[in-house]
Structure 1
Amino acid sequence: MRLDGVSQTNGFSTPNGSASSQSRKPLSHSLNGQPVFASNGDSQTNGSVKSPNSLPSYFGHNREEVTRLLIQSLYDLGYSGAAELLSKESGYQLESEAVAMFRSAVLDGRWSDAELILVPSFLTESGHENPPRNKLVLAENANKNEMLFYLRQQKFLELLEARDLGDALMVLRTELTPLNYDIGRLHALSRLVAYAFFFVFMIADLVVFSCVLRNIYTNKRDGMGLSALLERGYYQNYPVGFFYPATWMDTHVTEFISPSVMIPDHRLAILLDQIKRNQINQCLYHNTASCPSLYSDHMCDRADFPLRPGVELSQHADEVWYCEFSHDGTKLATASRDHCVIIYDTSTFSVLHKLREHEEGVAHASWSPDDTKLITCSQDRGARVWSVETGRCLLTISHHRQPVTAAAWAADGESFVTASLDLSSQLCHWSLRGQVIHMWPGGFRVQDCAITSDGRRLVAADVQGKIHVYNLSTHEEEYCIPLKSKPTSVAVSRDSRYMLVNLSEGQIQLIDIDTTDVVRRFQGQKQGSFVIRSTFGGAAENFVVSGSEDSRVYVWHKENGMLVETLEGHLSGCVNAISWNPTNAGMFASAGDDRSVRIWTRERDAPRTPAAEKQRAVSSNGFTRTSALRSTSSF
């Protein structure tokens, strides 16, 4: 990767620690005290300072917008003095007088004053090109009743926290109800009053009551308190979810005020983040978790990408159907048609264990979250849980009457789910003692399954062309996605946002788990007859990687969908599965029908082992493929 920055900044800089550490006060960006405000688009000459409107644009950008963004960012960085100096020198104010007054009224809880500013702002006056100083400039979608509802709701919640239940009930009846806005939420607020009466008068637990109410409008992650009314939805962490669904406050007050007078929070930081994201999206080989520097344009070197088939593992006697690195990256498990599972040490790729107790081919393996156990799934209709340290079988699942196709661990590592082609018991949730926690109703066969990293959802690929998503806690189905062709595998991203579905028609779909939208489609690999598994790859999962029936490995850029590389390394047959080392971005493995597992690395750090120095083992061609797990035609 090209060096993104330089060792020292251009010109002179202040040593770390010498800058002002004064933290930004809630109203500091409102110009602290009693400044002279300028209307939107106007400025003061401040003595000898030129009028900003008479100055040229800033490299084609609006000078006022750039300056006001800089002022806001200086406050964000804690440089209040510099922000005030820039405002004075430029003549631009961060916020209009009306916005500053409105913000102050909300944060101080002066609800009447806030409404006296808000309500007249909805009145239009003819003959005025610019709004009066005491009026807010509102966005086109501004809704008076909705904004009033947010303000009065906050007032209501504060009265509840102060245990002034009488006044809170009066606000609900005389101020919130007449707005006739969101009747469902009004009913929820009414229930909250009953809830408050219960805590205060029935059990007199004032401490618990105060904590509950504070959680309603305080975002505990960053401690913003009442400013959340102006900055973001404040119900998302409310512990009693049936009162306040998280979506209720997705729209907040600032969205109704024109950004020309009230810049969205941290706007420059957001723009810089977009720049970095765009640079990453344009960099085909971006394979690092660190963000690019702002000092220079960013581009990663192809030589830093794992394109070299450095090590060939040839210990299996038949097709290798699956491979997966452990979470800590120190081990690799491979599963084969030869009934065997092999665990390797990834520092030397020496064999740690050969697990031989399955009676037929092994199609899948899954590491426990702490990497101490491994589940293997076989065509012998069984699944086994192994101790990784000793290689001993700890548990055998023999419930299914058809091949076990996949398994997935719960996030806590205390239970797991097995998937099967068994119509009567295609999905089962097990404890570590082999006890059934839940068995989903039959009716379809499952080719693959995965549990999201946050432990919330189970995703199952139905061989009839559907994706089923279940709530793992309640075991209820949240939704079902119909597909145009049969899915052969499903993988989920580390952030639990996306699923990656291989389709037998030769397409891979990236699907948003929350919205069910198909975000992107990846094409180019050959697939149609056999089970092929793709995965997310790279340090920040910037890539999608898949095997193919043409013996190649295909790598796409996840964000722009571009085919980055087509790699040749296997001698013949399908490349069945891919696994990217989660702790070493410069290494991934591929498992193929040629009986080999390839370890792909960067040229500079390819492991030097005896296996790496051997000439490629020659594989026989034409293996018979009649397995229900291998052939999609048996679906």
Structure 2
Amino acid sequence: MRVDSGVSPMASTNGITRASNGALVSPSRKAAMNGQAAAHNASNGESYTNGSTKPLSQSFFGHDREEVTRILIQGLYDLGYNDAASLLSRESGYQLESPAVAAFRTAVLEGQWSRAEHILIQSFRRRNLRDSAAESLPDEDRLVLAPTADKSEMLFYLRQQKFLELLEERDLSAALMVLRQELTPLNYDVGRLHALSSLLMCPAEHLHDQAGWDGPISSSRERLLTELSKSISPSVMIPDHRLAVLLDYIKQNQINQCLYHNTAEPLSLYCDHMCDRDDFPLRSTIELKDHSDEVWWCEFSHDGSKLVTAGQDCSAIIYETETFTVLHKLMEHDNGVAHSCWSPDDSKLITCSRDKKARVWSVETGRCLLTINHHREPVTAAAWAPDGESFVTASLDSSSQLCRWSMRGQALYMWPGGFRVEDLAITPDGRRLIAKDVDPKLHVYNFLTHEEEYCLSLRSKPTSVTVSQDSRHMLVNLADGQIQLIDIETTDVVRRFRGQAQGEFIIRSKFGGAAENFVISGSEDSCIYVWHKENGTLVEKLEGHTTGRRKTGCVNAISWNPTNPGMFASAGDDGLVKIWTRERDSPINAVAGKRL
């Protein structure tokens, strides 16, 4: 079996703090580990007498004593208790890492590529030799490899790092030599090799994004070591921060079992955890009645201090969320307003209308700053670039379905036409733009280069798309009555949410709650559906809105207050926007609407 790195894919969600895997080892820890290896001069995991007159059991409450002890030693180093870690190692007789692992770790983190390759090659040689020949190799050249370790793969990762660092230094001739003489002969992952070749022409400012780096070289070396550790037996190289990861598993399991988990506060390890249903926003406390027709959209600002609503009556309304007083009623559109979005700093707002226009507004004054009247069909959605200096509009106009604009109204880029777009999203990290086709397809673009990365075919027509704050997942409503949580990188469907009614109209879902623990959606049956994001369980079905002008009485849009997990809003065909809060919350001094 391939050795797992020990990192939970969910460990960074739901308010849990996770130490980054592959963190740089401190000099003191290096010295302690290297000194420890020299002092013991024995193979990893070999036990020594601890001076006790009574032999210790190899079991610790059903767990392997050596595994528990070595994980504790690693945890003490992670906590900075180096002397305690060294003492525990001496008293127990267990090493944290073998000499070969210590040497290999140092070589990778310090960029000693020849040394790292030598250790790998000798380790594979040892695995392929008879025992007597293998034993003649020096201890520090003998890694214990996982059964599925692939020599070409590990060398490719090392040489790829070397190549990328040379590109970072703009030493293109040396990088080209590595590509031709070291990477190509491995004949491993030809597609990746072609991608690396293209980086030779990549501008320096885009190199990190194109190469998948999100930090300095030291961080990329740490990630490289983590990746390589998957092919090294954990008997000699414990996955980094294993104690912290195991504790994360415990917390995540408790969160997964807690249906109403709606807090970003880290869980205590002292006791088991369970949230009370009364701490969940289940009560409709305010009805906003300022729209005269169906309400199609609602969204809280990033700081939670304002709410915008929009609908068929050609208006968009901005409320403050302390008393839900109307701040501005934006009335310049000539047809229904289907979508709006806040700028990253909440100072501006874009509205998108069936009148084929998009408008940019000042939130402070309510004045229209810019009108985009380029499109020949309804403007369906918009999204801001993370820097707030430009934005993208989406339209049913197949000749210009996606356009990027400056704040002066200049067209910065227009994606090639040929399809119609009903919704779009830009990932918070600014790497990708996702466009929802009117056909059962999603188009995913590199936002920096504007190139299409892939087109994802779906089983039925999508009606909306939204992206998680960590930029890892997109939430897609489908007309066949399900919502899919899709991994943006791999396109795998992580989870499906079912129960809501959907098919004829545009229904929008959102991530919500503290740390986006929930998925919440409107429905064509006048109800609101809330699911637990991690286990897919339907947590609540709330009777949201009465039947409106359509017989179906749709709940069209939902928005959860990003700074107050005890509040969300819903917009419906009955012309109402409802504010939902917890039972224990203090009554809102409502000005704009009727308190229930």
Match of 1:576 among 547, 553, 556: 556
Matched, 1:122 2:127: yes
Matched, 1:232 2:237: no
Counterpart residue identity of residue 280, structure 2: F
**What secondary structure, in the 3-state scheme, does the structure 1 residue paired with 2:243 have?**
helix
State the 1:525 CA deviation: 0.6
Aligned residue in 1 for 2:71: 69
Aligned residue in 2 for 1:300: 275
Contact 1:102 1:117 in 2 (8 A): no
Match of 1:371 among 346, 355, 360: 346
Contact 2:37 2:99 in 1 (8 A): no
Q: Closer, same or farther in 2 for the Cα pair 1:445/1:606, shift >3 Å?
A: farther
Matched, 1:445 2:420: yes
Q: 1: distance between equivalents of 2:357 and 2:172?
A: 61
What TM-score does the superposition give when structure 2 sets the normalisation length? 0.82
Deviations 1:513-545 (A, max 9, x none): 111111111110111121111111012111111
Q: Closer, same or farther in 2 for the Cα pair 1:178/1:48, shift >3 Å?
A: same
**What secondary structure, in the 3-state scheme, does the structure 1 residue paired with 2:511 have?**
strand
Task: Tell which has more relative contact order, 1 or 2 (C-alpha 8 A, sep 6+).
Answer: 2
Identity of aligned residues (%): 67
Q: Which runs of 5+ in 2 are unaligned?
A: 1-25, 548-552
Superposition RMSD on alpha carbons, in Å? 4.0
Aligned residue in 2 for 1:142: 149
Match of 2:48 among 36, 44, 48: 44
Q: Closer, same or farther in 2 for the Cα pair 1:147/1:437, shift >3 Å?
A: closer
Q: Closer, same or farther in 2 for the Cα pair 1:23/1:297, shift >3 Å?
A: farther
State the 1:568 CA deviation: 1.6
Q: Closer, same or farther in 2 for the Cα pair 1:140/1:550, shift >3 Å?
A: same
State the 1:596 CA deviation: 0.7
Aligned residue in 1 for 2:486: 511
Aligned residue in 1 for 2:550: none
State the 1:352 CA deviation: 0.7
Q: Which runs of 5+ in 1 are unaligned?
A: 1-21, 196-207, 235-249, 617-635
State the 1:393 CA deviation: 1.6
Aligned residue in 2 for 1:17: none
Q: Closer, same or farther in 2 for the Cα pair 1:471/1:46, shift >3 Å?
A: closer
Match of 2:504 among 525, 529, 533: 529
Aligned residue in 2 for 1:520: 495
Match of 1:426 among 395, 398, 401: 401
Counterpart residue identity of residue 126, structure 2: S
Contact 2:509 2:557 in 1 (8 A): yes
Q: Closer, same or farther in 2 for the Cα pair 1:387/1:152, shift >3 Å?
A: closer
Aligned residue in 2 for 1:238: none
State the 1:430 CA deviation: 1.9
Q: Closer, same or farther in 2 for the Cα pair 1:431/1:161, shift >3 Å?
A: closer
Counterpart residue identity of residue 403, structure 1: P
Counterpart residue identity of residue 68, structure 1: R
Contact 1:27 1:104 in 2 (8 A): no
What TM-score does the superposition give when structure 1 sets the normalisation length? 0.77
Matched, 1:485 2:448: no
State the 1:23 CA deviation: 6.8
- Range 280-289 or range 330-339, more displaced: 280-289
User: Which protein shows a greater Rg?
Assistant: 1
**What secondary structure, in the 3-state scheme, does the structure 1 residue paired with 2:341 have?**
strand
Q: Closer, same or farther in 2 for the Cα pair 1:286/1:129, shift >3 Å?
A: farther
Q: Closer, same or farther in 2 for the Cα pair 1:422/1:115, shift >3 Å?
A: closer
Deviations 1:404-443 (A, max 9, x none): 2111112122222222222332222222222222223333
State the 1:403 CA deviation: 1.9
Aligned residues: 555
Contact 1:575 1:590 in 2 (8 A): yes
Aligned residue in 2 for 1:78: 80
Q: 2: distance between equivalents of 1:41 and 1:274?
A: 25
**What secondary structure, in the 3-state scheme, does the structure 2 residue paired with 1:576 have?**
strand
Contact 1:39 1:96 in 2 (8 A): yes
Counterpart residue identity of residue 380, structure 2: T
State the 1:350 CA deviation: 0.6
- Range 577-586 or range 273-282, more displaced: 273-282
Deviations 1:40-70 (A, max 9, x none): 5541114335544xx1511111111101111
Aligned residue in 2 for 1:395: 370
Contact 1:590 1:599 in 2 (8 A): yes
Deviations 1:13-42 (A, max 9, x none): xxxxxxxxx973324234436322444554
State the 1:182 CA deviation: 7.3
Matched, 1:473 2:473: no
Matches within 5 A, 1:280-429: 280-429=255-404
